[in-house]
């Protein structure tokens, strides 16, 4: 019976964002942004349009329950950028969270790592305690440059999230850092 019920994650995130003052609306289905984060096992639940900031949309991805794994969600926030990065110079950086006590403790620290292609993003994000605290609070963050029809960035969380207004401001700050990095090159 459960498998026949529609997943309401996209609607819940839209309501939550509106509740913290971030103007958001459900977008029509089959938008091109729905391919961001898609893989063989993941499918999009749809896009949310976001108004008034640097982050323009969110795409919710889901991997269904199987005999080998439980269901999982990813939230991709889209940041358009007029300065495109060539695919061969792709940027991919992410947080690595460490716990106060391995496996059971609370998240104590976040480290940024990955390939930023000389844009200085890893260094800038390591210095930004507000953005790192957002990763500590909400979950791992992965930042990727987008190509093939999209010019810009994806800020991905590896789970469902309910950001506070402070978290949202940190995400907007992260988006500004991404946009600033490509303007310097």
- Closest to 33 in 3D by CA, of 141, 139, 143, 154: 154
DSSP classification of residue 105: S
Contact by Cβ (8 Å): 83, 178: no
pLDDT at 96: 87
Residues of the chain with pLDDT under 50: 1-2
**Cα separation of the two ends of the chain:** 54
The pTM for the full model equals: 0.90
């Amino acid at each position: 019976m459960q498998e026949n019920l529609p997943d309401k994650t996209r609607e819940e995130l839209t309501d939550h964002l509106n509740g913290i003052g971030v103007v958001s609306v459900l977008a029509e289905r089959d938008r091109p942004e729905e391919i961001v984060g898609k893989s063989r096992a993941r499918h999009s639940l749809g896009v949310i349009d976001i108004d008034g900031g640097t982050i323009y949309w969110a795409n919710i991805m889901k991997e269904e329950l199987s005999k080998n794994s439980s269901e999982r969600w990813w939230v991709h926030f889209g940041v358009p950028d007029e300065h495109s990065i060539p695919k061969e110079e792709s940027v991919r950086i992410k947080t690595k969270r460490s716990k106060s006590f391995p496996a059971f403790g609370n998240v104590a620290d976040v480290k940024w790592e990955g390939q930023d292609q000389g844009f200085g993003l890893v260094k800038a994000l390591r210095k930004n305690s507000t953005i790192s605290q957002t990763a500590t609070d909400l979950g791992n963050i992965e930042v990727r440059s987008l190509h093939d029809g999209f010019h810009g960035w994806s800020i991905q969380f590896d789970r469902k999230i309910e950001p506070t207004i402070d978290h949202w401001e940190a995400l907007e700050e992260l988006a500004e850092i991404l946009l600033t990095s490509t303007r310097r090159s």
